[in-house]
Amino acid sequence: MRSLRTRLSAAGGFTASFCTPAFEKKENRRMLQDEGKMENHIMEKIAVIGLGMLGCSLCASLEGTCIRLGWSRRPEVSKWARETGLIEEDCPSVEDALTEADLAVLCLPVPVIMEFFSRYAELMKKTLVTDIGSVKGCIEKAAVENAVRFVGSHPMAGTEKSGPEALVRGIYAGATVFIVPPQGVSEADILQVESLWHKVGSKTRRLNAKEHDWLVANTSHVPHVVSCALALSVLDVPESDRDQRFAGCASGFRDTVRVAASSPKMWKEILSHNQAAVLEAMDFYEQRCSELKKLIAAGDFDGFEREFAKGKELIELWRSTLVKTEKKP
């Protein structure tokens, strides 16, 4: 098996660095100034805490807009991110990242985000913090309990892949990012978090935690459950039948089950923290399946055609909104 260093090198183009970190910090800042990218003569420092696929993708998308700090629980990943130009500074600890940053982005699993609010509460009371967590109610509750300076965010972007080598440059461009501020948060802090996402080409939309969790239960969480169920119902056959069954699975099946190839642990964590909303959304989905099944059982294929046409029309309407968004400057 190739080492992490080798895999990361292949993905991002590993380059050796012969400068000291202190020299690089000064040189990077000087270069940004020379290029005229300093805003009001002060470049915002943004710390990305967690350098997985989404964290590294954010670092890549922020290039030239700020001074990027990075921290990973694996020091070799932080080092790689600096040497390949994804970040200007690799921070040896979370404390260092929070102390230096104007804004910190927690690109971590939901339970770890909640744990960090407790562990680093004192520093997070001073430094503005946001996150990319897929569930907001539990995260907001932990933030409020620890009195941290926090504005939640959730970019509707990603792939089924994970790890720093899976980064996608430009993944946030055109994506919707939900901004979920707890009650009492200053407008200035909300605007600062919105500005972060505008830097990478995203559009922002504000809503509260309850609205967010119900929405994504329907649009993201249940679709992942359905994708998993389809994969199991089609592919979980005796080994003697697999060759023929697998041969019958083509592009339509592939597209429908793509997200079921995501991290099982991550989805356990997401669903366990949005359980009630997911179960309610699954009831609506099961009702639709039951209605379609009844039409087929009754031989009412004209009725089925009408429902299929309605679904097709709604999909085309949804897709038209995506096209309009992509055309915006």
CATH for 152 = 3.40.50.720
* pLDDT at residue 27, as a whole number: 45
Tokens describing residue 19: 């400068």
Residue 205 in this model has a pLDDT that exceeds 60: yes
Same domain for 191 and 228? no
* pLDDT at residue 322, as a whole number: 84
pLDDT tens-place string over residues 225-266:
999 999 999 999 999 999 999 999 999 999 999 999 999 999
Contact 55, 66 (CB under 8 A): no
Tokens describing residue 209: 């935690």
pLDDT bin (cut points 50, 70, 90) of residue 215 is very high
pLDDT bin (cut points 50, 70, 90) of residue 325 is low
Residue 239 lies in a domain: yes
* pLDDT at residue 43, as a whole number: 72
Number of domains observed in the structure of the chain: 2
Question: pLDDT over 70 for what percent of the chain?
Answer: 85
* pLDDT at residue 101, as a whole number: 97
Residue 52 in this model has a pLDDT that exceeds 60: yes
Higher per-residue confidence, 110 vs 29: 110
Same domain for 180 and 57? yes
Distance CA 105, CA 197 (A): 11
Same domain for 169 and 42? yes
* pLDDT at residue 161, as a whole number: 87
Runs of H (alpha helix) within the chain: 4-12, 21-34, 53-61, 75-83, 94-100, 110-119, 121-124, 137-145, 187-199, 209-216, 222-235, 239-247, 251-257, 264-272, 275-297, 301-327
Last residue of a domain, one of 207, 233, 256: 207
* pLDDT at residue 158, as a whole number: 85
Query: What average pLDDT does range 163-180 have in this prediction?
Result: 94
Same domain for 262 and 221? yes
Residue 29 lies in a domain: yes
* Residue whose C-alpha is closest to residue 46's, from 198, 157, 159, 163: 198
Last residue of a domain, one of 168, 187, 207: 207
Average pLDDT over all residues of the chain? 89
Query: Quick one: how far is CA 175 from the chain centroid?
Result: 11
Same domain for 177 and 283? no
Same domain for 188 and 53? yes
Domain that holds residue 222: 213-298
Same domain for 229 and 80? no
Question: pLDDT over 90 for what percent of the chain?
Answer: 82
Residue 213 in this model has a pLDDT that exceeds 70: yes
Contact 289, 259 (CB under 8 A): no
Contact 126, 147 (CB under 8 A): no
Distance CA 257, CA 318 (A): 20
Same domain for 196 and 228? no
State the amino acid at position 3 in one-letter form. Answer: S
Same domain for 183 and 41? yes
* pLDDT at residue 26, as a whole number: 36
pLDDT bin (cut points 50, 70, 90) of residue 159 is confident
Same domain for 185 and 50? yes
Same domain for 154 and 84? yes
Query: What average pLDDT does range 8-13 have in this prediction?
Result: 46
Classify residue 311 by its DSSP letter: H
pLDDT bin (cut points 50, 70, 90) of residue 72 is very high
* pLDDT at residue 323, as a whole number: 66
Residue 17 in this model has a pLDDT that exceeds 60: no
Same domain for 262 and 188? no
* pLDDT at residue 66, as a whole number: 96
Query: What average pLDDT does range 178-186 have in this prediction?
Result: 98
Kindly report each contact of residues 72-77 with a partner whose C-beta sits within 8 Å and lies 24 or more positions away, as own/partner: 72/164, 74/4, 76/4, 76/5, 77/4, 77/8, 77/51, 77/164
CB atoms inside a 10 Å sphere around CB 196: 24
* Residue whose C-alpha is closest to residue 114's, from 154, 142, 146: 142
**Upper half-sphere CA count for residue 230 (Cβ side, 13 Å):** 18
Residue 7 in this model has a pLDDT that exceeds 80: no
- Non-local (6+) Cβ contacts of 75 within 8 A are 90, 92
pLDDT tens-place string over residues 263-277:
999 999 999 999 999
